[in-house]
Amino acid sequence: MASNPLHLSLFELYTAFRSGNMTAEDLTEQAIEQHNTSLGAYKYWQPQDARNAAARTDASFSAGEDHGLLQGIPVSVKDLYNVDGLQTFAGSPVSIPDSLMTQGPVITGLNGQQAVFIGKTHTVEFAYGGLGVNSHWGTPRNPWDSTEHRVPGGSSSGAGVSLQEGTALLALGSDTAGSVRIPASMTGNVGLKTSFGRWSLEGIFPLSPTLDTAGILTRTVADAVFGFAAMDPEHQGRALEFIDQASHCTTGDFVIGRGDSVLWEECDPGIVESVEAALNELSQKGVRMTDARLPEVSAAIELLKAGNVTAAEIYELLSTKMPEWLDMLDPLVSQRILGGASMSATEYLKRRRHINQLQLSANSRFESTDVIVSPTVPITPPRLDDVQQADRYGPLNLMSLRNTCSGNTLGLCALTLPVGLDNAGLPVGLQIMARHGAEEKLLAIALCIEKVIGTSKDRLGTPAIPPLQNIHV
């Protein structure tokens, strides 16, 4: 066993708990000791609650009770998910009314498995942004730059940071245009966006009910496979079987399409090069490559620029049920949300019909290829100082979302995994997209890719996390 249990995979921890070689209390204490206040990952940091939960978990193990694969695993929760007993702010300055938030199946399922909730992580206000900036509560720091405060990606801004910090081994996020994949990519983690409707959105504050999806961030693809199997309703009772099946995928079992040229254009230095290097390694190991395209991507990007339907949906919710929030909005969020007021019902329905047509067309493109790939994020994580003003924030926010937004608009499932560092020494992600409902195939292919090119630690090394502060809690 590794000297540091935090370096073990989720499957290894699953085995260690059940063999008696590890306790949830020991693992949780190790995680708590990693807390670094200078990184600012958490809205709620609750070490004693986590210790109490770990003690209950160990009591269950001692009684011979097995509640699920994630029993005893420290999990961070994006502050968009309602957790009974905790307020939900959704990145806003005031907690969301209890009448609007109930605990949903995702959290209830994790509670049932006796996962250890380690804390709630920061998010962009109402999840409406790709850089991770929050003017109300502060912006978590990207741990890959020790000298300057760079953004960690959003909207699940604290999620990826919690993994690199070591306080969580699985992080819950949500994804409407890239909000799981962008922070995963920018912090050197793996991020899985599930297909729309695969996981319940109940109990998750809605940004866009027609585009929102739940997702997870993990340190490795192997952990993502494990976490997905543990949480996915379709795999209850046969999670270990799926994990085993996914591990049998080989380089000759799938075809990769390179995606449209727009996804590869205007990338910051070192990003395309890192992705190309990974693809070349895969090709040399026998993975077949095609020029399969997704022409619908361009239309998805144009919808992003126009506000898609997201602005109208979040504006309708706030103006109807939380009107006082409209006067408190983060300046970097308010202009886009308030812009939703000007969208007519006719225009909204027109855009929704267009999205439905794009989804049908896009999902038919996977006849000649299993997945389509691209750089996950085309830009280096900006310095926080460079995105504090709306005129500078806007273009960079759009660029951060450009490559990921199509996954949601086109109704696909998608994953990002780390493949290298850009010229600024910041992580680069490879985005992999598959047709709606093909999570099993997506994860199996991603796992095979990871086995060939290595994990984040193999390809990126260790982040330059600032010195730990206030770790004794």
Give the pLDDT confidence score for residue 473 in this predicted structure: 35
Region 98-104: mean pLDDT is: 92
Region 166-186: mean pLDDT is: 98
Indicate whether 464 pLDDT > 90.
no
Indicate whether 392 pLDDT > 60.
yes
User: What percent of the chain shows pLDDT beyond 70?
Assistant: 98
Q: What are the backbone angles phi and psi of residue 244, rounded to the nearest 5°?
A: -65, -45
Residues assigned a catalytic role = 78, 155, 179
Model pLDDT for residues 139-158, shown as the tens digit of each residue = 999 999 999 999 999 999 99
Indicate whether 468 pLDDT > 70.
no
Give the pLDDT confidence score for residue 470 in this predicted structure: 42
> What are 338-343's contacts with CB under 8 Å, separation 24+?
339/307, 339/311, 339/315, 340/307, 340/310, 340/311, 340/312, 340/313, 340/314, 340/315, 340/316, 341/315, 343/307, 343/309, 343/311, 343/312
Indicate whether 472 pLDDT > 50.
no
458: Cβ contacts below 8 Å, ≥ 6 apart: none
Give the pLDDT confidence score for residue 2 in this predicted structure: 53
Give the pLDDT confidence score for residue 124 in this predicted structure: 98
Closest Cα partner for 214 from 393, 460, 439?
439
Region 420-448: mean pLDDT is: 98
96 touches 78 (CB < 8 A): no
462: Cβ contacts below 8 Å, ≥ 6 apart: none
Q: What are the backbone angles phi and psi of residue 157, rounded to the nearest 5°?
A: -65, -35
Q: Would you say the C-alpha torsion 289, 295, 300, 306 has a positive or negative sign?
A: positive
49: Cβ contacts below 8 Å, ≥ 6 apart: 117
Domains plus CATH for the chain? 24-460 (3.90.1300.10)
User: What percent of the chain shows pLDDT beyond 90?
Assistant: 94
The Cα–Cα gap between 163 and 454 comes to 18
Region 261-280: mean pLDDT is: 97
Sheet strands side by side (includes 74-78) = 42-45, 116-121, 74-78, 170-175, 213-218, 190-193, 413-421, 427-434, 371-375, 255-257, 288-290
Give the pLDDT confidence score for residue 405 in this predicted structure: 98
Region 245-274: mean pLDDT is: 97
Region 219-226: mean pLDDT is: 98
Region 213-221: mean pLDDT is: 98
User: Quick check: helix, strand or coil at residue 39?
Assistant: helix
- Mean pLDDT (the chain) is 96
Give the pLDDT confidence score for residue 281 in this predicted structure: 98
Global model pTM greater than 0.85: yes
Q: How confident is the model at residue 380 (pLDDT cuts 50, 70, 90)?
A: very high
Provide the 10 A C-beta neighbour count for residue 198: 18
Model pLDDT for residues 112-142, shown as the tens digit of each residue = 999 999 999 999 999 999 999 999 999 999 9
